[in-house]
Structure 1
């Protein structure tokens, strides 16, 4: 009988160890604090855990694993399994997706941003470039058009952008440079301090970031309709980690993306509805740029920068014209379906 008991105990322990070994736990590197920009990651984690009965879980870390500008590097060496980054932080590492950060692409809604982003992410040139960093594109983090906050007298004419020190990355930075601005790429976490200390005159962010990083708290005005473009921030996974998943785990992850994005869109939509209330509460003036000023800005910083990007990226061996036309075509299709 003792021998039988020992055998049963060993069998039970073996099952326990096998169960523990089968569990998959991913570390996810993001930054700042939990906000509208990261809600789809939390939703994805919830869905995956639910679909796998808790056998596949994600630990989401806000700055504890890596700096935001080094998340792609962390993915490349397998320091963590999933991460979020923004293309403008290191455009030389993710050249193909910088097409999505070109100014004045004409993307008007978050749904359109999702459509064009995922179309570009699915392009072979993007997959090939990301594979150099052992990264696989998973989903976008769609953001509305960026707008400026600043202090003092509102800058509502292009002439007032001349010499303006602006926190803006990627194509947005180039747009402001084209009209005489002086872009700086301080990280989002540093933007408030840069604005408060006078290192920058203005900060270009989407609404959630002006809230999350506090720039709205020191601002006296906000441009409601400048809308020069946005930043593209993918969520990627380490290829080795992705391929190591079981079929059931991979299916749970892949099948949860659309629902996670839908949750993000609904949540961000609520924030946008409340934005005017936020401005009123913080006594921030809503500035409308005149149509003729917007048209001038687009003429200077739109097509010329697009053409320059196509020429530059083509010279580097990327199918730049194809990627650009993919964005334009996807945008047309998305609007037609609406």
Structure 2
């Protein structure tokens, strides 16, 4: 056997393998250890495992590259490949998806899953894909959002006059105004400080994400309002996706679908455990009759559509999914 020839052949084989591999830059714009961070890590693991290492995922965790909309801008420009975050942020490029964060739009997780799988949802994000160069690989529900208050609500359960932290999404602002609150925009990472110093009277969010931010330590009055379903989505730059082989595209798409489903199952499994953890730390968990809030939100739909928050008739169309 020609040993030198064998070594040369092995070296060429390694170079060929290296040349066939590709890198996917995946970003997390949420807190390390948050549900979205865990989902992204799961997504990266599935891709590398199922591609037998042919796709190397460079996972950048934490929010060092900015907020989800800022990361989406970088992804649209092609400087980043993929992002896993809450589907609420799709509204930065697909305004009609603000319907996702309107109160009591979805009956349950199954209703939201049907919506994400529908032609209607695909229609809402077409421009984002074709013009913004951002493709939705997968999206799904995680869990209902609840309210955290520094002081208890009155017997009527009204949020009238309460300064509530909300994210920088117009539909959230409109919803909490309709509910009588004073919505205040504060970065998610700064909510604990804002509640502890009185900048806001409370916040709302999914419990499995809020527990990592320790909301329950400064806002011990917790109300199970279930007013909006929290979500997850995994996005990829359209040009990056189109540059992949059909085999790699299929791997990435299926890994994304499996990962958003994993996020849903994980949040569902941990929700009661997290609420018990908050209660053990001194918080009070309050059941909440949301009937009046549902009525207020439904009555405001026509006004929201007239203002162009989302297109006319979309709320009713979503109800049919």
TM-score, normalised to structure 1, is 0.83
CA distance in 2, matches of 1:143, 1:96: 20
SS of aligned partner of 1:228: coil
Q: Is the partner of 1:302 in helix, strand or coil?
A: helix
Aligned match of 1:310 in 287, 299, 305? 305
Shift of 1:258: 3.5
What does the per-residue CA deviation read over 1:213-244, in whole Å, with 9 as the maximum and x for residues that have no partner?
A: 221222221002x2222354432100011111
Aligned alpha-carbon RMSD (Å): 2.7
Q: Output the CA distance in 2 between the equivalents of 1:156 and 1:278.
A: 26
CA distance in structure 1 between the partners assigned to 2:200 and 2:119 by the alignment = 32
Q: Is the aligned partner of 1:52 residue 2:51?
A: yes
CA distance in 1, matches of 2:214, 2:254: 35
Residues 172 and 228 of structure 1 are in contact (CA less than 8 Å); yes or no, is this contact kept in structure 2?
Answer: no
1:63 corresponds to which residue?
63
With over 3 angstroms needed to count, the CA separation of the structure-2 counterparts of 1:26 and 1:121, relative to structure 1, is farther
Name the structure 2 match of 1:229.
Answer: 228
TM-score relative to the length of structure 2: 0.87
Q: Does 1:113 align with 2:108?
A: no
1:245-291 alpha-carbon deviations (Å, 9 max, x no partner): 112111111223343233223221221131342132111111233x4
Structure 1 residues 118, 6: closer, same or farther in 2, change over 3 A? same
Q: 1:80 to 1:48 in 2, by over 3 A?
A: same
Q: Relative to structure 1, is the Cα distance of residues 284 and 180 closer, same or farther in structure 2, using a 3 angstrom cutoff?
A: same
Per the alignment, in what secondary structure is the counterpart of residue 183 of structure 1? strand
Is this contact kept in 1: 2:25–2:80, CA < 8 A?
Answer: yes
How many equivalent residue pairs? 317
Q: 1:73 — aligned with what? A: 73
What's the CA shift string for 1:175-206, capped at 9, x where partnerless? Answer: 22113211123222121121122111101111
2:17 pairs with one of 16, 19, 24: 19
In 2, are the aligned partners of 1:195 and 1:202 still within 8 Å (CA)?
yes
Tell me what 1:334 maps to: none
User: Residues 1-338 of structure 1: matches in 2 within 5 Å?
Assistant: 11-30=9-28, 31-61=30-60, 62-86=62-86, 91-109=91-109, 111-119=110-118, 122-155=121-154, 157-159=156-158, 161-169=159-167, 170=169, 171-224=171-224, 226-289=225-288, 291=289, 294-304=290-300, 306-313=301-308, 320-321=312-313, 323-330=314-321
Cα distance, 1:35–1:120 mapped onto 2, change above 3 Å:
farther
Pairwise CA distance, 1:173: 3.1
Q: CA deviation at 1:51?
A: 1.5
How far off its partner does 1:28 sit?
Answer: 1.3
Distance in 1 separating the partners of 2:259 and 2:144: 21
What does the per-residue CA deviation read over 1:98-157, in whole Å, with 9 as the maximum and x for residues that have no partner? 112111114223x43333234367422412234322100112252322111122334553
Q: Which runs of 5+ in 2 are unaligned?
A: none
Q: CA deviation at 1:298?
A: 2.1
